Structure formats: C-alpha cells, structure tokens
Amino acid sequence: MIQTTTGVPMSAAVLDNYLRSLINLFFKILPLKESGERSLGTYMRSLQAELLGCNALVDAIHDDSMFLSLIAILQYLIDNPDCDVSFVRREVFRAISICNKLKEKYANGGFGSLETKDGREQAQAAYDEAASKVRKDENLKKPIIIIKSTPQASFGSLVEVLDEMQINSISKYQIDNMTKADSTMVIDYQNRHHK
C-alpha cells in the first residue's frame, strides 16, 4: 500500500496504473507539437498541474527527484514554446523513460520487483504490518479463507475463486459444504439486495 497525505492508503496497483498512463500523456505532446496545435501549452500546463497534485497527494514521491524531473521537463517546454520538434521529441522520450523507472521503483508498494528475494521479503513485511494495523493484533497470521459454494455454483466459478486465492497469495484456505445457517444468510442477503 502507498500512503497518501489524506491518510487513506492507496493500492500500489493504482499508482502503477497512473504512472503507466503518464507515458501516454507525455507521448501525446509529440503529435500536438508536430501538428502545430495551439492548445499544446494549455495541455502541458494541465498535465503539470496534475503532476503537482499527485506529488502533493502521494507521500512516497514527495522527495523523489525523478518525479521532480517530469515536472521540470514540462516547465521548460511550457516556458520555451518555440523549441524545435527534435528537442521536444528528445525530452518527451526522456520523460517516458523516467515514467518507466518510476513504475519499476514503486511497483508492489515501493518494494520493486517481486522477482528478487529482497523485494518479496519487503513486500511480505509491508503486507504483514498493514494487516496487523487493520486488525490491531501484533500476533497476526495470514487469514484462513473458508470457501463455500451454493448448489447452483458451477465448477468454473470454484476454479476462479481458487485462482484468486493464488493471485492474492492466500495459501491457507478450505473448501467446505454450505450449512443451513450459510444458506439462510445467502437467502437473506439476496432478499435485501435484490434489484
């Protein structure tokens, strides 16, 4: 999880998606410059305002010099609207390279690649710490999930649930039969939330 100044943590995937979208937002500068689009300055000021807002919102990037470089590249291009296309192209591709480096740096909550042992251990420690805070239990262990399917459930839906267990690194789960109490809760839920 990535901490924000609002106190509400953000999923690392959200930041990853945002940094991925920045690549396209920076790339868009090139065709606007090449076509002589008059709205290029407005577009770049808007993108810079968005970056400044992200910098203020996300704790992890407050002091990140790479993120500051993105803002500075935009500032230079805004202040120098007459620079030639080849210069703009070079700076846009430099900004895209920085976006890719930021994506790698902040992947998995700022712990880098899960391909390395160190990255996996740091990500696991962060997960355990966050889960401990949520439950206020210093002796926290990973949850044990009990999977119960209704008679109407298909085999495919059970396989999808098991896939989700693996995707979310939940190694302790149990498949069990529905009890009468479980069926009553499902019926009650369906009655309350039926559209």
pLDDT in tens, 160-183: 888 888 877 777 888 888 888 888
- Give exposure, 127-150, as e/b (b: 16+ Cβ within 10 Å): beeeeeeeeeeeeeeeeeeeeeee
pLDDT in tens, 1-58: 777 788 787 777 788 888 888 988 999 999 899 999 899 999 999 999 999 998 888 8
pTM for this predicted structure:
0.55
Q: State the average pLDDT over residues 94-112.
A: 77
The type of residue at 11 is S
